[in-house]
Amino acid sequence: MRSISRRAFLGVIAVAGAMRQRAAAAQNFRTRLILLGTGGGPRPRKASSASAQVIISNNVAYVVDCGDGVARQLAFAGVPLTTLRHIFITHQHSDHNADYGNLIWLAWTAGLSTRVDTWGPPPLEKMTKLFFEMNAYDIDTRISNEGRAPIVPLVHVHEIRDGGAVMSDDNVKVAAALVDHPPVVPAFGYRFEARDRSIVISGDTAPSDNVVKLARSADVLVHSVMYPPAIDRLVGRVPNAAALKESILAHQTSAEDAGRIAQAAGVKTLVLSHLVPADDPQVTDEMWIEAAQSRFRGKVILGRDLLEI
Ligand SMILES: [Zn+2]
């Protein structure tokens, strides 16, 4: 070590510093995906929240779906609510939209004072309007009492009725595809094309060719999944068992089929989410992963709340 000259030593330090700076810059630009809620179905559970994920690019938050607890999950994930900029709803089912209005409203109480654009199927506009009407007492009180900017003018709603380009800004290009989740029509999957990676969220769907097209060569596909052998145990707990079982089997995708779709699309990583059932101890992590991996040669990740991918 003694033989290293002072000049060489300083050179090494300078190079290390430059590398750190480059790494920090890359990290700033790295588009992050955090799973906020990975359980399927609206029933509140101890182990997992309902559907929601956030994509963060250049410190701008794009939230996809607003299941129960999404604002708190963002807090757990360390994502400032004031960075909320866009919300995308895949379809109008309560495990995907129960906290749509709450997210905007609570972000506003946390200091959000900038524009929020929301995107999703009808009746998104009516839901937004009625939500603010329903909560006008609190909103008006906070405006007059706490000096907050009015919330209503901040929120710009865009109803989507068909697949295709949705929006683009400096960070991402977003496209939607119609997926197959009857009787909820329209239901969408979304693709986010960022400068460093592409991320696709399937939404709830039966096996869909449109998802294969939407996810073509994507880096990450987050697909909703069910584990069919466990559905009987799941619906056994409720009085409407027969109808619920039929609905789940017809409108969701098995983990095995999700693997098949990921393979057909040629994605690099498949993330299993919106797990149905979400909390059956007899369905182990290995069972989920093996089912998907049996049809897919890429990487399979079992979704968990607050997992960053
Ligand atoms: Zn659904």
Distance (angstroms) between ligand 1 centre and the Cα of 210 equals 17
pLDDT (0 to 100) of residue 15? 61
Neighbouring CB atoms inside 10 A of 142's CB total 16
Distance (angstroms) between ligand 1 centre and the Cα of 124 equals 15
Distance (angstroms) between ligand 1 centre and the Cα of 181 equals 7
Kindly tell me if the per-residue pLDDT of 294 is higher than 50. Answer: yes
Mean pLDDT of 64-69: 97
Segment 47-65, tens digit of pLDDT: 899 999 999 999 999 999 9
Alpha-carbon distances of 70 from 24, 227, 241, 303, rounded to whole Å: 28, 25, 28, 16
The values of phi and psi at residue 202, to 5°, are: -75, -25
pLDDT (0 to 100) of residue 31? 97
Distance (angstroms) between ligand 1 centre and the Cα of 89 equals 11
Distance (angstroms) between ligand 1 centre and the Cα of 293 equals 24
Q: Rounded to the nearest 5 degrees, what angle is found at the Cα of 21, between the Cα atoms of 16 and 27?
A: 125
Distance (angstroms) between ligand 1 centre and the Cα of 303 equals 17
pLDDT (0 to 100) of residue 256? 96
Distance (angstroms) between ligand 1 centre and the Cα of 209 equals 18
Segment 171-180, tens digit of pLDDT: 999 999 999 9
Dihedral, 99, 102, 103, 107 alpha carbons, nearest 10:
-170
Reduce the DSSP state of residue 23 to 3 states and report it: helix
Say which amino acid occupies 293. Answer: Q
Segment 221-271, tens digit of pLDDT: 999 999 988 888 888 777 888 888 888 888 899 999 999 999 999 999 999
Distance (angstroms) between ligand 1 centre and the Cα of 125 equals 19
Segment 190-208, tens digit of pLDDT: 999 999 999 999 999 999 9
Q: What is the largest CA-CA distance in the chain?
A: 80
Q: Rounded to the nearest 5 degrees, what angle is found at the Cα of 207, between the Cα atoms of 205 and 210?
A: 80
With contact defined as beta carbons under 8 Å apart, do 127 and 97 qualify? yes
Segment 81-92, tens digit of pLDDT: 999 999 999 999
Distance (angstroms) between ligand 1 centre and the Cα of 206 equals 10
Distance (angstroms) between ligand 1 centre and the Cα of 253 equals 12
| Residue among 129, 154, 68 at smallest CA distance from 103 | 68
Distance (angstroms) between ligand 1 centre and the Cα of 51 equals 10
pLDDT (0 to 100) of residue 137? 97
Distance (angstroms) between ligand 1 centre and the Cα of 58 equals 30
Distance (angstroms) between ligand 1 centre and the Cα of 174 equals 21
Distance (angstroms) between ligand 1 centre and the Cα of 204 equals 5
Distance (angstroms) between ligand 1 centre and the Cα of 41 equals 8
DSSP bridge partners of 157: 118
Distance (angstroms) between ligand 1 centre and the Cα of 291 equals 22
Share of residues in the chain with pLDDT > 90 (%): 81
| Residue among 205, 198, 199, 219 at smallest CA distance from 269 | 219
Distance (angstroms) between ligand 1 centre and the Cα of 66 equals 12
Segment 87-145, tens digit of pLDDT: 999 999 999 999 999 999 999 999 999 999 999 999 999 999 999 999 999 999 999 99
Distance (angstroms) between ligand 1 centre and the Cα of 113 equals 31
Kindly tell me if the per-residue pLDDT of 16 is higher than 70. Answer: no
Distance (angstroms) between ligand 1 centre and the Cα of 99 equals 15
With contact defined as beta carbons under 8 Å apart, do 95 and 41 qualify? yes
pLDDT (0 to 100) of residue 1? 42
pLDDT (0 to 100) of residue 236? 79
pLDDT (0 to 100) of residue 26? 53
| Residue among 278, 273, 285, 304 at smallest CA distance from 76 | 304
Mean pLDDT for all residues in the chain: 92
Kindly tell me if the per-residue pLDDT of 25 is higher than 60. Answer: no
Distance (angstroms) between ligand 1 centre and the Cα of 25 equals 38
Distance (angstroms) between ligand 1 centre and the Cα of 67 equals 11
